[in-house]
Structure 1
């Protein structure tokens, strides 16, 4: 696993997890990197406003925003299961409060109106099929398909042990990141591996591995039919031979009610 900073710098990590009663802290443990090199990367302006965790294939499996106040940093060593000694640099970050966030945004050089306009264009794109090739139209239609599924899943929940849990792409990615960190901690025999997850609008609570996996499979079962539908629509899109055929494809995601 690796941490990815805003400027594209990445480091191998032992683990990366939220901490504190209200997840107001972020613990980052960098693997086999000199303390000075870590400081040089993490101290760059705005380099830690969004820290991402990615797997060996470069896929982002976790994203941590707003942890910009560093509380501490120290270096130590540990031995892995093969008794090999590794260097570990541990950084503890505090979640910035609303005032700090506002001041940082106000000091930013970005044009707020431009950002709003760009965001609106992403959410409500104006598609001029006549100005694009057939292949470009297909790609555009498929992007619309993917965004529609993403927006749909963000509004859905599953019930587990009497509580509602989100099923969005972000929820699934964070659950995978938590499970990966837990298993890594267990493999390294740190003895501090704790699985946590949260219901909608609630803080994280400890989970047993069995309950965590059961919830994960419940979410997977709920999401699967909609992902399958997305793939079916994708096949329709790329099978179209004309732009008029593309325009006739309806992209709608509704809750499937099982009889």
Structure 2
């Protein structure tokens, strides 16, 4: 048998199986890491510009890390849960419509395939065959673009976001606390630039986008955040502290 030939009896799993959930999990992680890097770096750079006290910088950084991780986790949980509730309501509505008017739903599904370029006869045959197997899945995928058997877990997204935020926050915090006072801000900026370049590359790879554009976007955003907070910290340090 040719190595490239797949027996008819052999089950072939589609490449997209589970992809949506994994991509959402990775998206939450990358966004959490980016937020942790930028927000914590901006805060510690601002505090470091205002005072040379390591304790003050450390306390502010740890507070930002904990508060940010909790906020990111809650935000992801609420966001994903709301999306799941909306999708569940749409799927339930489709299930009711199939039970109440199966012929009308079959005609609607056939029309969807006809608009995609199939002849009316072929579209009706495809719709009928798919509906005979799993009508709900066929209609939900074609009409709503959803997979009724694959839902994103809000707990997974929340945990991934919180962990990623924490990991992202640790880098600028360690850099600003461990570096000598005279060069701690340049060291922190260098560490943040490197970290954002890595996360920008990873996020672009996940989304299939251009890496250079994603990295430049993140680097500009991080530079702006640190520049603004450094200016505010230096001003307050000179006038208040």
Q: Please give the range of the TM-score, normalised by the shorter of the 2 chains.
A: under 0.3
Larger strand share, 1 or 2:
1
TM-score by length of structure 1 reads 0.23
TM-score by length of structure 2 reads 0.25
For CA contacts below 8 A with separation 6 or more, give which structure has more relative contact order.
2
Larger helix share, 1 or 2:
2
Larger Rg: 2
